[in-house]
A = this chain, B = another copy of it.
Amino acid sequence: MIPDSHTDLLTEAVTVTLVTLMPDGQPQATPVWVDYDGTHLLVNVGEGRQKDRNIRRNPKVTVLAIDPKNPYRYLEVRGVVEEIVVDETGDNMNALSLKYRGTPKRYGLEAPPREVETRVYYRIKPLRVIAR
């Protein structure tokens, strides 16, 4: 569903916006790292955080990736979280860290308050894709 013309916005180190829904329906938007397996978008978060609680209540999410070199070029993916996977080995987080920071070191190791948190990642199934 993601056109080849825009997959670079998911495979290169572009910080994207993840939108979840608060209990009252208000959108909650935060910058996140993202990965793409050819079908699903993968987003890794700390378990129990606001966006995680939101997704467990309502799996509707939207991701917006804006080209950092050209803000008129973007990819919007409206989708649904099909699966929440506990990142027990840290492999997913390490892969994201390698992609975004150039080192496989787990993000949490440099941020003490997050050090011990459980990381999970979402498999987001695209339902509607807009590429401009």
Residues of chain A in range 1-60 having any CB-CB distance to chain B below 8 Å:
15, 17, 19-22, 25-31, 58, 60
> Which of B17, B27, B30, B74 contacts A60 (CB under 8 A)?
B27
Interface residues on A, range: 20 to 34
CB pair A27 B31 closer than 8 Å: no
Q: A21-B25, A25-B60, A60-B27 are in contact. Are A15 and B66 (CB under 8 A)?
A: yes
Q: Give the interface SS of chain A, mostly helix, strand, loop or mixed.
A: strand
Task: Kindly list chain B residues whose C-beta atoms are within 8 Å of the C-beta of A62.
Answer: 19, 26-29
Question: Would A74 and B30 be within 8 Å (CB), given that A25-B60, A68-B68 are in contact?
Answer: yes
Residues of B within 8 A of A113 (CB): none
- For the complex, is A124 an interface residue (Cβ under 8 Å from B)? no
In the assembled complex, which residues on chain B have CB atoms less than 8 Å from the CB atom of A21?
Answer: 25, 27
Contact assessment for A76 and B26 in the assembled complex, using a CB-CB cutoff below 8 Å: no
The answer to whether the Cβ of A81 comes within 8 Å of any Cβ in the partner chain is no
Contact A29 B29 (CB under 8 A): yes
